[in-house]
Amino acid sequence: MDVTVEPRGAATVVRLVGSVDGITAGPLEARLLEQVQGGAVKLVGDLSGVAYTSSAGLRALLATLKATRSQGGDFRLAGVQPAVLKVLELSGFTSILKHYPDVDAAVQSFGS
Partner 1 sequence: MTTNNKRVALVIGAGSVKCAAALGLWRALERAGIGLDMVVGCSGGSLYASVMALGYDLDTCARLTRELWTPAITKKRATRQILGALFPGLFGFDGKFGMVDDTAMWDALSGPYGGKRFEDAKIPLHIVTTDLHTGEKVVLSSGPVQDAIRASIAIPYIWRPWKVGERWLMDGCMSDPLPVDVAIREGANVILAMGFESPYPRKLRNGSRYAFHVNSVYTNNLLRANFAFHNLAHHAEIITVLPEFNRNIGLFDTDQIPYVMEEGERATEQHLPYLEKLLAGAA
Q: Which residues make up the interface to partner 1 (CB under 8 A)? A: 19, 21-23, 25, 52, 54-56, 58-59, 62, 83, 86-87, 89-93
Pick 7 or 27: Cβ nearer partner 1: 27
Pick 5 or 87: Cβ nearer partner 1: 87
Pick 21 or 46: Cβ nearer partner 1: 21
- Sign of the four-CA dihedral 32, 7, 10, 49: negative
Q: How far is the CB of 6 from partner 1 (least distance, A)?
A: 27
| Whole-number Å distance between alpha carbons of 23 and 88 | 19
DSSP letter string, 4-25: EEEEETTEEEEEEEEEESTTTH
Q: How far is the CB of 55 from partner 1 (least distance, A)?
A: 4
For residue 99, what are the β-bridge partners? Answer: 77
